[in-house]
Amino acid sequence: MILDTIAPVIPHLRHVAIDEAPLRQVCARVAPKQLRLPTWDDDVFILHPPESRAAQILLFNTINFSYWGDPKWTIDFHGRPLDGAWGMLGALARAREEGFPIFGGRYLAEISAAGMRHILRGNVEIPMFEARLDIWREVGRGLLEHFDGDFIRLIKAAGNDALALVDLLVTHFPSFDDTAALDEHTIVFYKRAQLATAMLYEAFGGTGLGNLVRAERLTVFADYKLPQVLRRLGILRYHPHLAAHIDRREPLAAGSREEIEIRAATIWAAELMRQDLASRAPEITALHIDYWLWQEGQAKGPTIKPYHRTRTIDY
């Protein structure tokens, strides 16, 4: 469904282009055996019991967005500084160690600003704190109303179907409803809902609470890191005005045509990569492409061009 909503706008992109020549070159030098799925078993993850592991993954993705800033929000986790998504995972693991019932719908629905500040405490206040607080309260209410306050009931309500779980998240928790309008077309991204589902599938190896059919139908997760990598690889090309804007690290408005085009082109380019690689290895899915691109994005250095900076709850 997501690809179907993106397809009509790709021929009409004004600010972003997909260059298929470097795309094919990149795919040609990637051996399918290099492509794997993450296991999500770093020490920031709660591994036991499985119900807590699953709940942490879903709760994490309710507020897994917009970490960038100067200075960057960073927490201390067992003497280890963590920022970004790993900082958020560490904050949740730390809260559980401290005895906070963060996986309960009632607790989330009634959480105070002071309580959440304590859970997310770091060197600076995390960006979009109030939005995160509102989302946890929304999630708590949704869990209480539809799933007896329990993340595991939510997972089981999906009937072992990845796309059904995405639909449940988007339907019952409005902050997951990540869509945009472009040229009279409604585009569906569902970045956080898809990532929550994919992480559940990957963390459990497709078994138990992660036994989710149709996971291969998920797309890559349109954020700021993937387009940065695709641009570096020459697969995405930006109009000079957009490129200069991003390279100056100037904010790009959420919902602007430029931002929507970047996200749409990211998903479409990754799908073209999947098709190319799947011609040699049919088991390759968008999840493999996403993780490979994410790993490529860990490269640092003065020649790496910036990612686009958009303040949004979507990523």
User: Which residues carry out catalysis?
Assistant: 223
150 Ramachandran zone, left/alpha/beta (phi>0; psi -120 to 50): beta
The CA-based angle 234-290-78, given to 5 degrees, is 115
Question: Around Cβ 113, how many Cβ atoms within 10 Å?
Answer: 10
Q: By the 8 A CB rule, do 155 and 61 touch?
A: no
Question: Which residue pairs from 81-88 have beta carbons closer than 8 angstroms and sit at least 24 positions apart in sequence?
Answer: 82/44, 85/60, 86/42, 86/44, 87/122, 88/60, 88/63, 88/64, 88/120
Q: By the 8 A CB rule, do 264 and 9 touch?
A: yes
**Contact residues for 26 (Cβ-Cβ < 8 A; gap 6+):** 233, 234, 235, 273
Per-position DSSP letters for 216-240, written without gaps between them: GG-----SSHHHHHHHHTTSEEE-H
Closest to 172 measured CA to CA, from 63, 62, 92: 62
**Contact residues for 188 (Cβ-Cβ < 8 A; gap 6+):** 1, 2, 5, 6, 178, 179
How far is residue 57's CA from residue 196's CA, in Å, rounded to a whole number? 6
Residues belonging to the chain:
315
Residue 125, φ and ψ in degrees, nearest 5: -70, 135
Q: Hey, which bits of the chain come out as E strands?
A: 16-18, 74-77, 80-83, 179-182, 185-188, 236-238
